[in-house]
């Protein structure tokens, strides 16, 4: 009996090898083998891949074989494209303004994190903000969110995005532009519009991180000028590459000897709708890997002195239980870098004290908290440490992020050719 097209490309009893781990072209998407683990600990491989829906969205599917994974993905695509033809609320969107339409889409989403809800709610606020209103001449202005979804054109969007770019950072403006494109794509899918004018908006470039040099004498001067162990502890943690939120989220329970596992950051969090925000130790962004920071004896003495000033507090934390993350309240938590009262250090208060410290050291003027992390990355790459080790030391999920902090490619290229010439001619061991 002849095999079908799918079975020819991926027989049921197909044996996997190293090439199977690489993404390969398959049908209308790509499929590959992904290792997984059963509850009893045994490791097995499942086929994972995607097919592309009519609007360009990647819809994933899994199965025992690649053909089964493709079938599962195609089934999901059919369901997804069917949902595009009906509104999430079953209502008519033709009469809604742009802000009302965006709010209705947000309200209809069921699986979305609290952090994303807050961000998208802020974006809806941009549409309604008088400060971002479009100037029409003769002293008149119009809020973009008050336009009907059908009537918004490319000219209004361009004028609005100019206001957004003037008021907000490039990263925020870029994310908002992407969100705006999604709103109009939904309007097209629901038949409210026939085109997506947001796609014509100019892309917004975000400045990449650069290599940072901080002389050792400047670092020592900052530590010498810091008053008390708590500020010194915060500086030491930043010099070891910890992110801003991770400095305040590090607790004494995260230490095992002189090594700390960094995987959480301190942020205000609303645990339930309508409740006030409380400080919580939450996981870093999705995909962010945990990493370890190791300290010598002198640094550990400073950190211990700082922790002794901390007051044990109750704080919310996220704990993994199976495949779910649940929130629970812990008591007796002692942060490594507390404020003057021994409680977790508020960001605004720390920024003020850090600015005062940096201004007191003439050579350090202009430094930001992130510059210490960038300095660590640049220094380790300059020392020739392998990229994957630097990436792991900083907790980057992608090596491309770490590469932003290396020297210019031209400078490295010249150095590489000089070194290979020296090696070829026996000038180096």
Task: Look at 165-169, 269-273, 300-304 and tell me which has the smallest mean pLDDT.
Answer: 269-273
Q: How much of the chain, in percent, has pLDDT values that exceed 70?
A: 83
pLDDT at 92: 64
Give the confidence band of 357 by pLDDT, cuts at 50, 70, 90.
very high
Q: Is the pLDDT of residue 410 over 70?
A: no
Distance CA 227, CA 237 (A): 16
Most confident by average pLDDT, 290-294, 313-317, 335-339, 362-366:
335-339
Query: What residue spans define the domains of the chain?
Result: 5-84, 98-200, 217-364
Place of tokens 């079908």: 4
Q: Which residue has the higher pLDDT, 387 or 78?
A: 387
Distance CA 183, CA 353 (A): 42
pLDDT at 87: 53
Q: Is the pLDDT of residue 91 over 60?
A: no
Residue-wise pLDDT for 312-332, tens only, equals: 988 888 766 666 667 788 888
Quick one: which of 82, 91, 25 has its CA closest to 55? Answer: 82
pLDDT at 322: 65
Q: Is the pLDDT of residue 199 over 70?
A: yes
The mean pLDDT value for 277-300 works out to 79
pLDDT at 176: 94
Using a cut of 0.75, tell me whether the model's pTM lies above it.
no
Can you list the alpha helix ranges (DSSP code H) found in 149-291? 154-167, 170-189, 216-225, 228-239, 244-249
* DSSP state for residue 192 in the 8-state scheme: S
Q: Which residue has the higher pLDDT, 263 or 130?
A: 130
Inter-axis angle of helices 170-189 and 98-108, nearest 10: 90
pLDDT at 23: 31
State in words which class domain 98-200 has. Answer: mainly alpha
Compute the Cα dihedral for 324, 325, 329, 332 and give only its sign: positive
Domain 217-364, CATH: 1.10.443
pLDDT at 297: 93
The mean pLDDT value for 236-243 works out to 92
The mean pLDDT value for 307-311 works out to 93
pLDDT at 324: 67
Distance CA 258, CA 293 (A): 8
pLDDT at 288: 56
């Amino acid at each position: 009996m002849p095999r079908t097209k799918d079975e020819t490309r991926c027989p049921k009893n197909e044996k996997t090898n190293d090439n199977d781990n690489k993404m390969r072209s398959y049908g209308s998407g790509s499929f590959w083998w992904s290792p997984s683990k059963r509850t009893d600990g045994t490791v097995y491989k499942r086929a994972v891949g995607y097919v592309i829906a009519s609007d360009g969205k990647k819809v994933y599917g899994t199965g025992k074989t690649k053909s089964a994974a493709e079938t599962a993905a195609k089934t999901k695509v059919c369901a997804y494209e069917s949902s595009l033809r009906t509104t999430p609320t079953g209502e008519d969107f033709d009469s809604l303004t742009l802000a009302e339409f965006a709010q209705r889409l947000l309200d209809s989403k069921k699986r979305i994190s609290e952090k994303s809800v807050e961000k998208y709610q802020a974006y809806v606020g941009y549409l309604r903000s008088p400060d971002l209103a479009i100037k029409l001449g003769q002293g008149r202005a119009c809020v973009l969110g008050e336009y009907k979804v059908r009537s918004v054109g490319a000219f209004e969007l361009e004028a609005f995005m100019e206001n957004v770019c003037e008021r907000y950072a490039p990263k925020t403006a870029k994310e908002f532009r992407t969100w705006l494109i999604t709103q109009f794509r939904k309007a097209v899918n629901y038949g409210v519009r026939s085109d997506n004018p947001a796609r014509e908006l100019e892309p917004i470039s975000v400045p990449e991180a650069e290599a940072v040099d901080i002389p050792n004498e400047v670092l020592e001067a900052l530590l010498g000028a810091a008053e008390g162990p708590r500020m010194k502890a915060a500086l030491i943690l930043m010099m070891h590459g910890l992110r801003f939120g991770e400095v305040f989220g590090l607790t004494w329970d995260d230490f095992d000897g002189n090594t700390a596992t960094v995987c959480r950051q301190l942020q205000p969090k609303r645990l339930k709708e309508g409740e006030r925000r409380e400080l919580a130790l939450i996981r870093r962004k999705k995909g962010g890997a945990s990493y370890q920071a190791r300290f010598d004896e002198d640094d550990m003495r400073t950190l211990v002195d700082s922790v002794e000033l901390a007051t044990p507090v109750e704080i919310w934390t996220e704990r993994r239980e199976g495949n779910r993350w649940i929130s629970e309240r812990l008591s007796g938590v002692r942060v490594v870098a507390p404020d003057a009262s021994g409680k977790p250090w508020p960001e605004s208060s720390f920024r003020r004290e850090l600015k005062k410290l940096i201004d007191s050291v003439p050579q350090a003027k202009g430094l930001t908290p992130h510059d210490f992390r960038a300095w660590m990355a640049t220094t380790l790459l300059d020392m020739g440490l392998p990229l994957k080790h630097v990436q792991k030391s900083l907790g980057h999920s992608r090596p491309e992020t770490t590469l932003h902090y290396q020297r210019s490619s031209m400078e490295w290229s010249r150095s590489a050719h000089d070194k290979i010439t020296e090696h070829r001619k026996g000038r180096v061991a």
